[in-house]
């Protein structure tokens, strides 16, 4: 019999819907998705770990992941930066996902930019597919990738959520910059 991976589920209400947060025994994130996309998340887990490869169990207590994500939604964009992920996927997908984490909050890049960043400038379509297969949205910020013309393109949680996340990050960055620029000058 094949080993089943026990994963722990939590939910987090946010201004744009309820998030489902899934982690493992090592306290690594395995998946994040919107509750209204639960079927898609289960298909993704089955694709990565096999049809009967995971056992989903409600978490006994709230994790640091949920606390960090709650802080992110309250405006502390860097609260999620140190969260560790453990995702299945190809080596190419993992390279794309690592590059996504290097996009600063409040900024966007195109799929072509992302392909260049991983050293494969002709792999734009493959980068788009890897971006769409990202199982740990928000923490691995696939919402920060836009079309070459600046348009919002696909997001697994819907374009309204993508727009909200980008606006949320832009406002939080601007607010942080304003508070730094309005700080009193030092006397020396």
| CA distance readout (Å), 171 to 69, 74, 154, 155, 166 | 17, 11, 22, 20, 9
Single out the catalytic residue among 44, 77, 114, 142.
142
CB-count exposure of residue 28 (10 Å: 0-12, 13-18, 19+): middle
Work out the number of other CB atoms within 10 angstroms of the CB of residue 106. Answer: 18
Does the annotation mark 142 as catalytic? yes
Q: How far is the C-alpha of 156 from the C-alpha of 141, rounded, in Å?
A: 12
Catalytic residue numbers read 142
């Amino acid at each position: 019999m094949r080993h089943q991976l026990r994963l722990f589920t939590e939910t987090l209400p946010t201004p744009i819907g309820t998030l489902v947060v899934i982690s493992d025994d090592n306290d690594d994130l395995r998946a994040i998705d919107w509750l209204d996309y639960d079927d898609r998340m289960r298909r993704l887990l089955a694709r990565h770990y096999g049809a009967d490869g995971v056992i989903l169990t409600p978490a006994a207590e709230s994790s640091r992941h949920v606390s960090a994500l709650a802080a992110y939604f309250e405006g502390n964009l860097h609260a999620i930066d140190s969260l560790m992920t453990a995702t299945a996927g190809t080596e190419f997908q993992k390279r794309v996902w690592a590059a996504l984490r290097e996009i600063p909050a409040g900024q966007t890049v195109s799929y072509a930019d992302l392909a260049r960043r991983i050293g494969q400038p002709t792999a734009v379509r493959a980068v788009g597919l890897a971006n769409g297969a990202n199982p740990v949205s928000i923490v691995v910020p696939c919402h920060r990738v836009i079309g070459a013309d600046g348009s919002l393109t696909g997001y697994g949680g819907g374009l309204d959520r993508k727009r909200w996340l980008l606006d949320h990050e832009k406002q939080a960055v601007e607010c942080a910059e304003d508070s730094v620029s309005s700080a009193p000058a030092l006397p020396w």
